[in-house]
Every structure is written in structure tokens, then in C-alpha cells.
Amino acid sequence: MMKKRYLLLALLACLTLVSFTPPAERFFEIAKNLDIFASLFKEVNTLYVDEVNPNQLMRVGIDAMLNSLDPYTNYISEDEVEDYRTMNTGQYGGIGALTREIGSRTVVSMVYETYPAYKNGLRIGDEIMKMNDIELYKLSHDEASQLMRGQVGTPVKLSVKRIESDKLIELEFKREKIKVSNVPYYGMINATVGYVQLSDFTPDAGQEIKNAVVAMREKGAKGIILDLRGNPGGLLMEAVNICNIFIPKGKKVVSTKGKVEDSNFIYETKLTPVDTEIPLVVLINRGSASASEIVAGTIQDYDRGVVIGEKSYGKGLVQVSRPLSYNSQVKITTAKYYTPSGRCIQVLDYSHRREDGSVGSIPDSVRKQFKTSSGRTVYDGGGIEPDIKLSTTETSSISQALLIQGIIFDYSNLYCSKHATIVSAAEFKLTDQEYQEFSSWVKSKNFSYQSSLDAQLSILINTAKKERTYADLKTQLDQINQTLTDNKKNELGKFKDQIKGLLEQEIASRYYLGRGKVEVAFKSDAEIKEAVNLFSMPALYSKILQNQ
């Protein structure tokens, strides 16, 4: 702990000392502090009582230094560069399958229809036992993932186990260039409303959204829902391209301002739009960040569409990557971005965020007011506030446990083995009898989990024991524990609708892949229902945008 503290102090010295010195002294301060750091590192490595790992020690220091700036300035080691490229390009060499770990098992959680995995017979629910004749239990998840990926054109062999047979199925694939679509789903919700889901802002995101909008208009769409929920952002230029689909050529979308002159730039739409009149709803939640917030903020500032959901993440910073020695990189925050009205949605204080990193409640008194084209008041400093606020229902403890422990996943495999087909995903719905069968199956598995209340009670008991008051409180604590235990016995019924919805999504994916997972959720999605309802009331839609 002490060595980390010394290392952190030395690294921070480079920042704190040079930040308040005249330019003429800056280079001297940098050189001096780098020399101090190198000397410190050498002495610690030589004299510390235990052997230290130089790479690990340096990584701790670098991460601590960069984290003192903001959460988005990060060091990317050589081992992490390939994953970073994949995240930014959406491309990699592989077979087109996603896996997850359930306990000691590695299972296939999704396959993409146009790639080798699906074409050669790999299916969601398959458990991977061997990869290139190497037993998977001997590999970590990261090692297995790296084996699955590789140079385009090279072979990979999988031995998988399927629920209906104990015999291993041998499958062979040739790796291809995999391009994960930014648009995992688009289609018509009803005869007049089109829906498009955007999951990333990697290259071609704008073109993919444009293609989806054109296709849905040809099918009769009179309103478009653009779903940015859970989208963490990506390439800024793709956000500009998406806005250009709905707003005229020559309109400012976003401006960036930083310390270096090259970071100051104004991005405008450059192409003829697809449709500047079609009613538009943008869905956001606390997981919508960065480029997602540029799109939502621009649409809102021009009163081009109605934003529905919950307040977005609150990331108004721009990062660029710079190469370092030994094939590593650093991602540096170089500027803040501003929506057309002039607001920066970056949260004012990094330290006051929810557990998932999103911004919580910020008083309007500490935020600046801005105006949309029609005069509506919007605020900076804490994400995009939706025009229609809807609170997202929190996932219950039992639902999370059923997902994490693979109970829902495994039962979906069992259901699929007993049902050759199901109705369309949009129509699929488990009956009460089928849900009861699921509940009975769960109980037969001796399923157990710890809720947040269980965890808090455990802390309370440990604290009482430390303070020697446990004997006095034991009766009350035992009563609370029994009450929690009794309540958990009824939670499969209490949270039936939520669990049933998750189960329906997982089952639908077995038959219709990713599309099925999306379509089966339409009937219970509060934000989509609100959007469809709004399109049916054009007067209300106009009233919201005209500040009446």
C-alpha cells in the first residue's frame, strides 16, 4: 500500500507542479519530475522487501495518474490494443459468435446469421468443451476468446455439447472478417411506426441508420423511433452523419473546444437529408453516452423530435488516441463538445455518479440555461434531460441472480429441446402454466441467491458482533432474517412479469436470434409504448416541440 502511495505522489507531481508554472519553466519542471520518478522507481524496485513486478507497478502508477484527470483518459497496453481496435471499428477476425461464462462452463450466447458460426451449425445454448482439441477448462475466458479470434482465413475447430445429447458435436470453421452491425435491429412495430436500434457508433453507423430509415419509409412508416438506450457512443463523425439524416444540410451539429487549437472544430451537416419532416422519437436512458448524447441533444435543440426515457449518462468529452512506444497507446481527453444550443452535457462533478457511472440528480440552480430553436429551456452540465421522462424499472435481485447463474439460459435450452418451433417472436408469450413449470424447475435446482437486503443484514450482523451487541440484538436480527427468507420464497411470483419477460427474450433468441430477442420485448417495453402512443396524437407531439 505504501509503495503505491509513493508512486502515485510521484506521478501526480508531474501534473500538479507543471499546471501552475509559467511556460518558460514548464520543460524544466517536466524533466525534473520525470527524473524524480525514474529514481524513485529504481529505488523501489531495488530495495523493496518483496520482489515487485515492474510492469504491474508501472501500470498501477499510470492508471492512478490518468484517473486523477478524468475517467476517460486511459492507457492501453499492447495486449489490449486489439480489443480497443475492435471496439472502435466493430471488426475482427473470427467466426461470428459470442460466448459467456456460467460457472465453469463456456456457452454460446449469440450467433450472427451471415457468418461461419451459424452457417456451420453452432447454436445459442451450445456448451464449448474443446477448442482446437484443447479442453476449455484449461483456459481462462480471455484465452478462449483469443483462440476463437484470429487471422482471417485460418481454421478453428470446436467440440460442443448440446442439451439433447451427451455426445460431442464436432464443428469446423474458417475465420472471416467479422463486422458487427451498428444496427442490430430495424423493422415495423405496426403499419405506420418504424423502429431502429443503434448499439454503437463505429464506421458506417450513419449509413446503416440511413438504410434502415429508407427501408422503413418504403414499408409505410409515418413515424420513426431511434433507440439509443444503452449505447455508450463512439465516433463523433458518425453522430453527425446520423443527425444529417433528419436535419437540413449546413446545420451545426456539434462544436469541440480544447486547449490545443486543433481540438477546436465545428461539425456541420454536409449532405442532403433523408427526411426532415417525418415525426421522430429518440429513446435514451442512463446508459446513453457521448455520441448518443450528441444525437439526442442535436435533435432536441432543433426541436426535430421528441426525446423519451431517462436522463442520459452525461459524457461531454472528446478523446483521441496517440501511439506510444512498444505498440501501446494512450486515449486522451482533448476537448469538450457542445450541442447546437451551446450546452455541454458533461457532468459537473465526476465524484457524484451512480454505481453504473451515470449522473444522478443535479439542481438546476448550478446549471446554465439554453434555448432550443422554438424557445424551449434546456440545461447543461448533467446529461440530456428527456422531453418525456420515464423511469426505468430496476431489475430485481432474483431476476439478476437467475440471469447471472444461467438459470434462465439453461431453461431456455430445455424449452427449445421440447418445442421444435414457436410462433413469431412478436406474438410469442409464455402461458401461466408454462411459467409455473419454469418455477417448479427452478425450485428443483435448489436455486438460492443473496439479495441486497441480505447483504446489508450480513453487514449489520458482523458490525454487531464486532461491537459486542450481537447477543442483545440476536432475536430481532433472527426475525429479520426469517422475514427475508419467507419473502424470497414468494419472489418468483412477485416478480413474475419481469422474470417472464426475460425468459421470453432468451427463448425467442433460440429461434430468431437477435431479432427475436428485440421483437418479443416490444409488448412490454414502456418507452416504445409511449412513443407509439405519442405518434397517434400528432397535436401533442407538436405541442411538446413548440413549447406550448
Of residues 262 and 281, more confidence is placed in: 281
CA nearest neighbour of 285 among 409, 395, 402: 395
Average pLDDT for 441-469: 92
Contact 155, 173 (CB under 8 A): yes
- Any domain includes 124: yes
Q: Which three cell numbers stand for residue 152?
A: 482471417
Q: Are residues 359 and 413 in the same domain?
A: no
Q: Are residues 167 and 197 in the same domain?
A: no
What's the pLDDT at 359? 55
DSSP string, 339-395: -TTS-----S-TTSB-TTS-B----GGGS-EEE-TT--EEE-SSSPPPSEE-PPPPP
Q: Are residues 314 and 448 in the same domain?
A: no
What's the pLDDT at 151? 87
- Any domain includes 76: no
Dist. CA 4–CA 64, nearest whole Å: 9
Paired with 221 in beta bridges are: none
> Residue 150, Cβ neighbours under 10 Å: how many?
16
- Any domain includes 167: yes
Q: Are residues 388 and 241 in the same domain?
A: yes
Q: For position 332, which CATH number holds?
A: 3.90.226.10
Given a cut of 70, whether residue 1 has pLDDT beyond it is: no
Sort 84 into a burial class: Cβ within 10 Å, 0-12 / 13-18 / 19+. middle
DSSP string, 116-135: HHHHTT--TTPEEEEETTEE
Residue-wise pLDDT tens digits, 18-57: 445 566 577 888 889 999 989 999 999 899 999 989 889 9
Q: Of 352, 374, 392, which one is at a domain's C-terminal end?
A: 392
* C-alpha distance from residue 455 to each of 145, 281, 458, 470, 499 (Å): 33, 40, 5, 17, 22
Q: Are residues 148 and 206 in the same domain?
A: no
Q: Are residues 360 and 315 in the same domain?
A: yes
78-87, 203-212, 447-456: the lowest-pLDDT one: 78-87
Q: Are residues 272 and 302 in the same domain?
A: yes
Active site residue 341: no
Given a cut of 90, whether residue 249 has pLDDT beyond it is: yes
Sequence-ordered list of residues with C-beta below 8 angstroms from that of 227, at least 6 positions apart, any chain: 195, 196, 197, 198, 283, 528
- Any domain includes 540: no
80-84, 302-306, 505-509: the lowest-pLDDT one: 80-84
What's the pLDDT at 92? 86
Question: What's the start-to-end Cα distance of the chain, in Å?
Answer: 59
- Any domain includes 81: no
Q: Are residues 201 and 134 in the same domain?
A: no
Count of all residues that appear for the chain in the document = 548
Q: Which three cell numbers stand for residue 305?
A: 423530435
pLDDT band at 4 (very low <50, low <70, confident <90, very high): very low
- Looking at residue 316, the DSSP 8-state letter turns out to be -
| Backbone angle region of 468, left / alpha / beta, with phi > 0 → left and psi within -120 to 50 → alpha | left
Sort 81 into a burial class: Cβ within 10 Å, 0-12 / 13-18 / 19+. middle
pLDDT band at 110 (very low <50, low <70, confident <90, very high): very high
pLDDT band at 333 (very low <50, low <70, confident <90, very high): very high
Active site residue 315: yes
Given a cut of 80, whether residue 96 has pLDDT beyond it is: yes
Dist. CA 59–CA 106, nearest whole Å: 30
Which of 315, 488, 500, 517 is the catalytic position? 315
What's the pLDDT at 421? 96
Give the three-state DSSP class for 359: strand
Of residues 297 and 347, more confidence is placed in: 297
CA nearest neighbour of 132 among 110, 153, 148: 148
Average pLDDT for 240-258: 97
- Any domain includes 37: yes
Percent of the chain beyond pLDDT 70? 92
Sort 447 into a burial class: Cβ within 10 Å, 0-12 / 13-18 / 19+. middle
Dist. CA 54–CA 517, nearest whole Å: 46
Q: Which three cell numbers stand for residue 31?
A: 524533466
CA nearest neighbour of 294 among 272, 319, 267: 267
Domain that holds residue 133: 91-179
Average pLDDT for 431-435: 97
Sequence-ordered list of residues with C-beta below 8 angstroms from that of 415, at least 6 positions apart, any chain: 507, 510
Given a cut of 60, whether residue 489 has pLDDT beyond it is: yes
Q: Are residues 18 and 159 in the same domain?
A: no
- Cα dihedral 422, 423, 428, 433 sign: negative
Q: Of 162, 179, 196, which one is at a domain's C-terminal end?
A: 179
Residue-wise pLDDT tens digits, 493-505: 999 999 999 999 9
CA atoms within 13 A on the CB side of 14: 19
Q: Of 146, 179, 212, which one is at a domain's C-terminal end?
A: 179
Pairing of strands 280-284, 265-268: unpaired
Which of 159, 181, 290, 509 is the catalytic position? 290
- Any domain includes 196: yes
Q: Are residues 288 and 175 in the same domain?
A: no
pLDDT band at 547 (very low <50, low <70, confident <90, very high): confident
Given a cut of 80, whether residue 65 has pLDDT beyond it is: yes
Active site residue 301: yes
Instruction: Look at the chain and report how many structural domains it folds into.
Output: 4
Given a cut of 90, whether residue 462 has pLDDT beyond it is: yes
Dist. CA 399–CA 173, nearest whole Å: 35
- Any domain includes 74: no
Average pLDDT for 107-114: 94
> Residue 118, Cβ neighbours under 10 Å: how many?
18
Q: Are residues 271 and 409 in the same domain?
A: no
Q: Are residues 238 and 357 in the same domain?
A: yes
Which of 301, 303, 380, 387 is the catalytic position? 301
Q: For position 125, which CATH number holds?
A: 2.30.42.10
What's the pLDDT at 88? 80
- The chain-wide mean pLDDT, for the chain, equals 90
